[in-house]
Structure 1
Amino acid sequence: MKKPVSMLGAALITVGLLTAPMAMAGSQSAQQGQSQARAQMQQPQPVEPGTLSKQYQDDELRSFLDVNRDMIPVIKNLSSQNVSDQQQAQSMMQEFQSKTEDSLKEHDLSVQQYQQIGTDASRDKALEERLINMDPQLYKQLQSMQSQAQQQPAQ
């Protein structure tokens, strides 16, 4: 049976999808980015279900989901591009960071809040379920993207 994709894993897919084409350009920093992405995708220690979930208001969780939704087309666009050199890879990373920052601002979330929600969702099954239930369609899209990223051969 296939293990369900955690909300954090789905959210962190952005790093893996973005760094995969950059690694093809032979960029040392892209390879470091892939290593960091793998390290980030390791699950933190779980907590008693519901422990962290009650810390978040629905509005804050909706913002987290909105940022993920906003980034899907950006990730798909950037991950489909062929990277020919390190300069192009850096340009793509800057574009990704800019669009991520814009989305975070638009949805009134800091980078730290976004990361904390993702980390907490990976630790607290009740919080993860709450996020999934708030937007099951987004979760399916993120699952699909993560599955596709995992099927790509390692560089």
Structure 2
Amino acid sequence: MVKQSAGLAIFRRGGDGIEVLLCHPGGPFWSRKDAGAWTIPKGLVDAGEDPLLAARREAHEELGTDVSGDFHWLGEYRQPGGKLVLVWAVEPQQPIDASAIVSNTFELEWPPRSGRKQSFPEIDQAEWFALEQARTKILKGQVPMLVDLEALAADEL
């Protein structure tokens, strides 16, 4: 069975057009990676869980804030590893301060084979990016989400 994740393409309108909120993964693997490492807030859909509710839950866990607004279906995106990501676009009703995120944490044996567990934030940074810059920052498999977000914003929003 294909794993499903759900996420939110959170955007705002700025002086230079649409900006999207991207998250940088925490932990030692991602610490020195920037271009091609950022992601939308997303996570696994639990069995029987409504995917939009899962997307909102994941955004809350990763950003530390509830995201509310009009949710617009963006699409399904197959990732290079095979996972299917279901995505909604939303312009939040309340501003989100990217510098004030509070992410949940995970434990990892670090350094490897040391027997020591360390706690890391799931997301160590969030930032608003103009779409053009976001295309260079986001994971390669998520670039089509930005293309569709731009088209949706031009057509419907």
Higher strand share: 2
TM over 0.5: no
Under TM normalisation by the shorter chain, which class is it? under 0.3
Q: Could you state the TM-score of these two structures normalised by the residue count of structure 1? A: 0.24
Higher helix share: 1
